[in-house]
């Protein structure tokens, strides 16, 4: 077959948290809000929870920019970071990589068991870092349900409930995502403690809606659970799409799980031209 014109992209996922990935190293960045929104449409585009664009970096292997499916920017995406890191490590025959995101420098590696780990950095627990609208105790927000706020590059609002599986995310997710307490909106998590070192988590992501897994949300939930005295610093988190291992160490919050590269495709010149 003749090589098509247009733009190559990859479809990847981490536990069902799915991404379009564009490698823009060696040229100008491609993604705009309009293009992200069009690509994120699961009927007229490709469909994804987040879009990750790989760019050049000085002093690291690459830089990552993130977009939500509604065209808004995301500050972090842990599962996409793991997927892209795996792609770069395989392509360049490396066992570990360093990268830049809006959060700063992160690191990732492939473990001996084949799972991919990323250090998502230290959690943000001060109200101004999350950020919240005004000064308050981030361990006990003034909202019904007594949630915790934690920043992991994205703001997170975490509720601890007896059974997260019965929560109606479609009703409660948008309500809290757009609460005035969160000037940049927020991801919303509902977690249940199922064992001393295990949580069951469900997630509503700002700008994306219900997701089968959320890396930064899992990290934020593990931090919140430890700060509330519910778990230790290392936990297994069962999300709708599978299980992530979270370990809050001295150097940051490490997240480990599987990755999948599903297929490659081409965006046509006409599609790109229509959504600049």
Q: Does residue 136 form part of some domain?
A: no
Q: Does residue 133 form part of some domain?
A: no
Average pLDDT score over residue span 201-230: 97
Residue 199 — pLDDT band, cuts 50, 70, 90?
very high
Q: Do residues 27 and 68 share a domain?
A: yes
| SS3 of residue 183 by DSSP | coil
- How many CB atoms are closer than 10 A to CB 34? 12
Q: Do residues 113 and 214 share a domain?
A: no
Q: Does residue 141 form part of some domain?
A: no
Residues 228, 257: Cα–Cα separation, whole Å: 25
CA neighbours closer than 13 Å in the CB half-sphere of residue 39: 35
| Active-site residue identified among 83, 157, 214, 219 | 214
Q: Does residue 204 form part of some domain?
A: yes
Q: Does residue 34 form part of some domain?
A: yes
User: pLDDT of 12-55, one tens digit each?
Assistant: 999 999 999 999 999 999 999 999 999 999 999 999 999 999 99
Q: Which residues of 43-59 are buried (b: 16+ CB within 10 A; e: fewer)?
A: eebbebbbbbbbbeeee
For the chain, the domain total comes to 2
Q: Do residues 59 and 37 share a domain?
A: yes
User: pLDDT of 40-97, one tens digit each?
Assistant: 999 999 999 999 999 999 999 999 999 999 999 998 999 999 999 999 999 999 999 9
Q: What CATH number is attached to the domain comprising 243? A: 3.10.310.10
pLDDT of residue 103: 87
Q: What CA–CA distances, in Å, run from 149 to 19, 181, 214?
A: 26, 10, 16
pLDDT of residue 3: 56
Q: Do residues 17 and 103 share a domain?
A: yes
**Residue 219 known to be catalytic:** no
Q: Does residue 189 form part of some domain?
A: yes
| SS3 of residue 213 by DSSP | coil
Q: Do residues 228 and 269 share a domain?
A: no
**Residue 83 known to be catalytic:** no
| Active-site residue identified among 77, 83, 157, 219 | 77
Nearest 5 degrees, angle CA 86-CA 240-CA 62? 20
**Host domain of residue 225:** 148-250
Residues 96, 78: Cα–Cα separation, whole Å: 16
Q: Does residue 140 form part of some domain?
A: no
Average pLDDT score over residue span 155-166: 97
Q: Do residues 155 and 230 share a domain?
A: yes
Q: Do residues 71 and 161 share a domain?
A: no
Check residues 228 and 104 and name the one with the higher pLDDT: 228
Q: What CA–CA distances, in Å, run from 4 to 31, 195, 275?
A: 20, 52, 19
């Amino acid at each position: 077959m003749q090589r098509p014109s247009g733009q190559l992209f990859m479809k990847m996922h981490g536990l069902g948290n799915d991404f379009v990935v564009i490698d823009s190293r060696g040229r100008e960045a491609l993604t705009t809000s309009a293009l992200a929104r069009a690509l994120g449409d699961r009927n007229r585009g490709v469909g994804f929870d987040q879009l990750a664009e790989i760019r050049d970096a000085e002093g690291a292997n690459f830089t990552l920019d993130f977009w939500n499916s509604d065209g808004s920017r995301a500050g972090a995406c842990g599962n996409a970071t793991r997927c892209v890191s795996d792609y770069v490590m395989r392509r360049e025959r490396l066992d570990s990589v360093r990268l830049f995101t809006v959060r700063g420098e992160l690191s990732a590696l492939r473990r001996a068991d084949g799972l991919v780990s990323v250090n998502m950095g230290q959690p943000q627990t001060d109200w101004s870092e999350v950020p919240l609208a005004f000064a308050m105790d981030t361990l006990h927000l003034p909202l019904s349900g007594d949630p915790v706020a934690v920043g992991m590059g994205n703001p997170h609002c975490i509720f601890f409930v007896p059974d997260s599986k019965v929560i109606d995310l479609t009703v409660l997710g948008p309500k809290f995502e757009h609460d005035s307490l969160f000037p940049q909106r927020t991801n919303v998590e509902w977690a249940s403690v199922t064992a001393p070192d295990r949580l069951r988590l469900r997630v509503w992501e700002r700008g994306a809606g219900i997701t089968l897994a959320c890396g930064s949300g899992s990290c934020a939930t593990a931090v919140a659970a430890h700060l509330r005295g519910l778990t230790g610093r290392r936990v297994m988190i069962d999300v709708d799409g599978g299980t992530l291992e979270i370990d809050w160490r001295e150097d940051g919050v490490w997240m480990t799980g599987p990755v999948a590269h599903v297929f490659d495709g081409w965006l046509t010149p006409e599609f790109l031209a229509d959504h600049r």
